[in-house]
Amino acid sequence: MYKGRFSWIEPNDPFPVQWRAILTGKVAYYNALSKEEKSLFEYKVQEFLLNCRITGIKTQIDTTDKLLVASSAIIPILKFSEWKYTNIREVLVYPALFNEEFKTEGSGRRIAGMVGNGYMEGMMILSKHALRLGFANESDKKNTAIHEFVHLIDKTDGSIDGIPELLLEKQYTIPWIDLINKKLMKFIRINQISTLMAVQIKQSSFQL
């Protein structure tokens, strides 16, 4: 999304060296990027963390968990420089699977992640176990956190064309990749048409 309901904060400080070490040790996607792409990835990760709270619910989360959440958000949209997640303000991290009532104990605990609706609009819930497992198991093509951020993209009125090749490898090959491609491209076209129409209307008003 390009416009949101709150002011957007951009990074001013250098990317922390400790964070870079965590990305190197935990995120295979990051390691496969070029030097320039890594710098862009770091910027977007830092930007995401400045604009979206990540809160542990009945569990302690650390810097690694926050960086894994942010990496999950950036992997699908890295190649799209204008994309910003202005439709999410907080990610809640639960200790394990939860049920439809957001309970982590009892029966029906089969949910590893979900994008909020209704009173939960602008929020996402992730299982900490699923979050960590998604980046620990490179041979597994299912990464819950990435999966949920793709759902978040799907909720926007938009679309894009041009998927990073790395998304087609290992765990980053997820069913919604084609959907990202179409959704974001459509949104860019709509935005460009709206901008053109606004310019034409402004020019017409000057001629009257």
Give me the tens of pLDDT residue by residue for the chain, a chain 208 residues long: 434 455 889 999 999 999 999 999 999 999 989 999 999 999 999 999 999 999 999 899 999 999 999 999 999 888 877 778 888 999 999 888 776 766 667 666 677 778 877 767 788 999 898 999 989 876 556 788 988 888 787 776 543 333 444 444 444 444 445 555 555 556 556 555 555 555 455 555 444 5
CA angle 111, 112, 114 (to 5 degrees): 80
Domain that holds residue 182: 17-207
Task: Report yes or no on 10 lying in a domain.
Answer: no
**Residue 96: partners with Cβ closer than 8 Å, 6 or more residues away:** 104, 109, 127, 128, 129
Alpha helices for 62-115 (secondary structure H) = 63-74
Task: Report yes or no on 96 lying in a domain.
Answer: yes
pTM above 0.85, yes or no: no
Task: Report yes or no on 124 lying in a domain.
Answer: yes
Task: Report yes or no on 9 lying in a domain.
Answer: no
CATH code for the domain in which residue 182 is found:
1.10.472.150
The partner residues of 94 in beta bridges, in order of sequence, read 127
Task: Give the count of domains, the chain.
Answer: 1
Cα 41 from Cα 88, distance rounded (Å): 19
- Tokens representing 97? 């699977």
**Residue 39: partners with Cβ closer than 8 Å, 6 or more residues away:** none
